């Protein structure tokens, strides 16, 4: 995944939004050794930070970071790596770069924003449409419905309005930053 924004702009943007966290990295690799996603993929937080510092294109799937903070807890400099990756995720979003993880997140958040809670059927339909795989996992839907595990119609939370307000405020903060 290649971000179109000028590499220096991106680097400076990350440094500004994370108050210089990126520059504290001395490339020791402790973060990658503890990262659960690194154990099962080519995702590597040390490499991501190094590439950002040097202005090299990223080929890691940054969307697979699960924001568990294990890296930050282990980093000798306490660098907030998930925050750096969050800035990258926002930039990917701005540039419309999407993979299946992004599409899943969007489908999930979309139903939570509308209903104040997850609406499984709505989420899966949106995800399947967005990924162009309409009948993906369809064989699980009917048995789950028959067992009452998922409903055909959404059940709105009584706090749906408050949830919507949280989404509105987050968007407002995003636009301000
Ligand atoms: S926050 Fe992201 S980068 Fe850090 S350990 Fe967790 S998955 Fe890995
Ligand atoms: S543990 Fe901290 S200092 Fe070491 S490579 Fe990772 S981010 Fe850099």
In this predicted model, what pLDDT tens digit does every residue of 85-138 receive, in sequence order? 988 888 887 777 778 888 898 999 999 999 999 999 999 999 999 999 988 888
Q: Which of the pair, 42 or 38, is modelled with greater confidence?
A: 38
Q: What is the rounded distance in angstroms from the CA atom of residue 5 to the CA atom of residue 136?
A: 34
Residue that terminates a domain, selected from 61, 94, 127: 94
Taking only the tens place, the pLDDT of each residue in 133-163 is: 988 888 888 888 888 888 888 889 999 999 9
**Sign of dihedral through CA atoms 82, 87, 90, 95?**
negative
Q: Is 79 in the pocket of ligand 1 (CB under 6 A)?
A: no
User: What are phi and psi for residue 131, nearest 5 degrees?
Assistant: -95, 0
Whether the predicted pLDDT of 32 surpasses 90? yes
Count of all residues that appear for the chain in the document: 177
Q: Which domain holds residue 155?
A: 100-176
Q: Is 12 in the pocket of ligand 1 (CB under 6 A)?
A: no
Q: Is 84 in the pocket of ligand 2 (CB under 6 A)?
A: no
Within 10 angstroms of residue 8's Cβ, the number of other Cβ atoms is 9
Domain count, the chain: 2
19 & 74 share domain? yes
**Would you say 72 and 81 are in contact if contact means Cβ atoms under 8 Å apart?**
yes
Q: Is 1 domain-assigned?
A: no
Q: Taking the model in full, what pTM does it have?
A: 0.70
Q: Considering only CA atoms, which residue is closest to atom 1 of ligand 2?
A: 75
11 & 78 share domain? yes
Q: Which residue has the tokens 């000028």?
A: 6
Confidence of residue 3 (pLDDT cuts 50, 70, 90): low
Counting residues of the chain whose pLDDT is more than 70, the rounded percentage is 95
20 & 90 share domain? yes
């Amino acid at each position: 995944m290649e971000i179109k924004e000028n590499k220096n702009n991106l680097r400076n943007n990350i440094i500004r939004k994370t108050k210089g966290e990126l520059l504290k990295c001395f490339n020791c690799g402790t973060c990658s050794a503890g990262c659960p996603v690194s154990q099962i993929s080519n995702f590597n937080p040390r490499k991501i930070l190094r590439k950002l510092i040097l202005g090299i294109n990223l080929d890691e799937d940054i969307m697979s970071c699960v924001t568990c903070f294990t890296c930050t807890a282990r980093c000798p400099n306490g660098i907030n790596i998930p925050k750096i990756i969050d800035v990258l995720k926002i930039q990917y979003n701005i540039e419309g770069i999407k993979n299946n993880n992004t599409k899943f997140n969007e489908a999930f958040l979309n139903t939570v924003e509308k209903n104040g809670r997850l609406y499984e059927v709505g989420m899966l339909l949106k995800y399947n449409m967005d990924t162009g795989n309409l009948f993906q996992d369809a064989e699980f839907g009917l048995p789950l419905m028959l067992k009452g595990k998922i409903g055909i119609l959404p059940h709105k939370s009584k706090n749906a309005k408050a949830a919507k307000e949280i989404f509105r405020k987050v968007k407002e903060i995003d636009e301000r930053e």
